[in-house]
Amino acid sequence: MNFDKELNARGLSCPLPIVKTKKALADMTSNQVLKVISTDTGSVKDMAAFAEQTGNPLLSTVEENGEFIFYMKKK
């Protein structure tokens, strides 16, 4: 999937992946896609909850070699 910005949240625990995602989105423009890589298993549910509550669509969530990769579109 194409993306405009990547956030490396490897090794970070709650709530850092969410807080850093929010900060990364702040510098982006509408419809741009943010790729987030996390190793925090809790971030799977948290990213979905973040997307739902903020209205930024979560385009996909994939697990690859113990890492979680999220693609989020800025609303």
Partner 1 sequence: MANKKMAIIATKGTLDMAYPPFILASTAAALGYDVQVFFTFYGLQLLRKDLSNVMISPLANPAMPMPIPMPVMVQMLPGMESMATMMMKQKLKKHGVASLTELRDLCLEADVKFIACQMTVDLFEFDKSEFIDNVEYGGAATFMGFAGDTDICLFV
Any catalytic annotation for residue 3?
no
Binding site for partner 1 (CB under 8 A): 11-16, 18-19, 21-23, 39-40, 50, 53-54
Q: Which is nearer to partner 1, 50 or 68 (CB)?
A: 50
Cβ neighbours of 49 (radius 10 Å): 12
The nearest distance, CB 1 to partner 1, in angstroms, is 23
Q: Which is nearer to partner 1, 21 or 61 (CB)?
A: 21
Distances (CA, A) of 27 to 17, 19, 65, 70: 16, 13, 29, 18
Catalytic residue among 4, 6, 8, 14: 14
Q: Are strands 33-38 and 67-73 parallel, antiparallel or unpaired?
A: antiparallel
